[in-house]
Chains A and B, each alone.
Chain A
Amino acid sequence: MIKPAVTSLHQALRKSFQTLENNHKVWRSELEECSPLMVSLGNLAEQLRALSNVQMSGTPLRDFPDLENRLRFKLLQATDTVLTKLNERISSLQSIRDAISNQVTAVVQLYQQSADSLDLSAVTERSPTSPSVADMLEWLQDAERYYRKQFLRRKALLQMLRADDLSLLESAPNRWKSLDSPSEEEQITDTLCRVSFFMESQ
């Protein structure tokens, strides 16, 4: 017989995994939208670098009045626009992280409240279709930690970037890419696969 405490815990777990699944997709698409922005940031940095390297007075462009300043202004403006867009994406990542964190905190709290009435076997018991409560809580916490860490790292990188710091801008696309963690990402996909039968059972 399953106790009522376990049933409500199962319900909460189902809801959490549902949130995780939905947000997992949104997170990915948000990150996908970031990569072209990062590429154009790198391009703009490259163009700014070339502009600083070229001595206009020695080129066929020498006769154009104020060209260097005008072009630099345009490039900086474009950089600003890209940075603003990236910051918008980061805020979306933040709300995804919050949604997952809230859900996981809630389910862990529920477990702690009913921990006394649950014996060890109820928490560790598992079946072919349903993982144990202990395992599922652990997976949820792992996932939550992953999003928290990812968000912080990406936000920190973005906050460092300034339109007037060329070397940082140039290295930004690679650093952004180096934050990708396919193995941890895959773990979340694995988790969602492992709980798929559990989520279908009501």
Chain B
Amino acid sequence: VQSDLKIWTSIMKSSGVTGTSRKVKDNAARLEGFNAATSIVNLSSQSEQLLVDGSASASSPSSHGQTESLQEECRRLEDVVHKMVAVVTKMERLMTSQRGIRDLEEFQFGPEGRTSPLFHSWTAAETLLDGFRQELKLKQTILQEVAHTATPDLCMVYLSCWLHQPYIPDQNRLTLEALLLETGHRPL
């Protein structure tokens, strides 16, 4: 049991560190993503205006320049989403190892667990991961659609989705803190 505990703590330690660094990384990516998304919304509304005007044909230099910069913005957004994919993949790998430990626990002590539980927040990390997965899916959808959207309202909804991260609720922060507290990464 002693060695078991040691492995556990070391794994949780690494998970805690990844958790924190993930947050930091994510925030940076989010911030970057927000800038790119804003200019995309601006750009697509501009290009939409061009289409409505009908005066600027696709071959005219100004609209050509716009298409190019739209392309450029999309590429930047894509970069951001790629970074997010990497982060979520890392989280998934971590979850797999944790699920393994959980299964091991169940195998050793039955579904009731041991008399003094090793760990309470088993599901916390999974909740976090689910949120991030859904958020990533949302962002990927937005990335595919945003440049092809003609209605300004829908563009705006994409932008707010990107900005406000509907699938990352505020209590995530608390859940993470609880997890860190339980694993001893936060002093009582």
Contact = CB atoms under 8 A, between A and B. Distances in A.
B10 interface: no
Interface in A43-97: 46-47, 49-51, 53-54, 59-61, 64, 67, 70-71, 73-75, 77-78
Nearest to A66: B166
B161 interface: yes
Contacts of B160: 47, 50-51, 71, 74-75
Given A54-B153, A78-B164, A47 B141 contact: no
Contacts of A78: 164
B173 to A, nearest CB: 13
A121 to B, nearest CB: 66
Interface string B141-178: 10011000001111011011100111101100000000
B157 A50 contact: yes
B134 interface: yes
Nearest to A60: B145
A67 B144 contact: no
B138 interface: yes
- Report whether over half of chain A's contact residues are helix, strand or loop; otherwise say mixed: helix
Given A60-B144, A64-B134, A50 B153 contact: yes
Interface string B12-46: 00000000000000000000000000000000000
Given A47-B156, A50-B153, A59-B154, A67 B141 contact: no
Residue of B152, B157, B161, B165 most packed against chain A (CB within 10 A): B157
Contacts of A60: 141, 144-145
Residue of A51, A70, A77, A78 most packed against chain B (CB within 10 A): A70
A50 B149 CA distance: 14
A74 B166 contact: yes
A51 B166 contact: no
B161 A71 contact: yes
A78 B165 CA distance: 12
Contact of B161 (A67, A73, A77): A67
26 contacts: A46-B156, A47-B157, A47-B159, A49-B153, A50-B157, A50-B160, A51-B156, A53-B153, A54-B151, A54-B154, A59-B154, A60-B144, A60-B145, A61-B141, A61-B161, A64-B134, A64-B138, A64-B141, A67-B138, A70-B167, A70-B169, A71-B164, A71-B166, A74-B164, A74-B165, A75-B160
Given A54-B153, A67-B138, 17 more contacts: A46-B156, A47-B156, A47-B157, A47-B159, A51-B160, A53-B153, A60-B144, A64-B138, A64-B141, A70-B169, A71-B160, A71-B164, A71-B166, A74-B160, A74-B164, A74-B165, A75-B160
